[in-house]
């Protein structure tokens, strides 16, 4: 069966702020720093619960895989009638040979992590599914030992 979207207008910027505040509270004793940069508030017409879930998955991945500095950056970039959300970590990055598979359900890169990383391997496949359902785009820019920037974009509807 096909999932149904419950679309309605909402403030994407505020939703991201709320998610980051919740995450900061969860990791406050672990030394993580989560930064959010944006120029203006952006409204979209989408399924807020599903977009929240997609963003949350990118945020938790960034926290799990960021470097020893424990810094995660989130950027909201408006490009014409599109908003792009980027989540950047400072970790080891994803090797070029693994990049085509990371969006597949249950795919996990087997390697030793600096910190214990728990997960089912479905987070990025959820991001892919949610963004595709909304007609958006998604991707990653990553190089080994240079961190990763995962992103998605949606059309802005006013």
Residue 113 has pLDDT above 50, yes or no: no
Residue 118 has pLDDT above 70, yes or no: no
Percent of the chain predicted with pLDDT > 70: 86
Q: Which residues contact 100 (CB under 8 A, 6 or more apart)?
A: none
> Does the reported pTM lie above 0.75?
yes
Cα angle 2, 122, 36 (rounded to 5 degrees) comes to: 100
Which pLDDT does position 115 carry in this prediction? 43
Residue 22 has pLDDT above 70, yes or no: yes
Which pLDDT does position 2 carry in this prediction? 63
């Amino acid at each position: 069966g096909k999932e149904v979207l419950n679309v309605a207008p909402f403030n994407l910027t505020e939703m991201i702020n709320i998610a980051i505040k919740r995450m900061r509270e969860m990791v406050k004793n672990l030394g993580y720093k989560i930064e959010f940069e944006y120029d203006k508030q952006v409204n979209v017409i989408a399924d807020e619960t599903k977009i929240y879930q997609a963003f949350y998955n990118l945020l938790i991945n960034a926290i799990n895989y960021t470097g020893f500095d424990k810094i995660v950056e989130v950027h909201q970039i408006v490009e014409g009638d599109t908003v792009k959300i980027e989540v950047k970590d400072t970790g080891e990055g994803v090797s070029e040979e693994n990049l085509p598979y990371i969006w597949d359900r249950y795919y996990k890169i087997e390697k030793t992590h600096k910190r214990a990383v728990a997960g089912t391997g479905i987070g990025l496949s959820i991001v892919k599914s949610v963004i595709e359902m909304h007609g958006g785009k998604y991707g990653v820019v990553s190089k080994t030992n240079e961190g990763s920037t995962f992103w998605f974009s949606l059309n802005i509807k006013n």
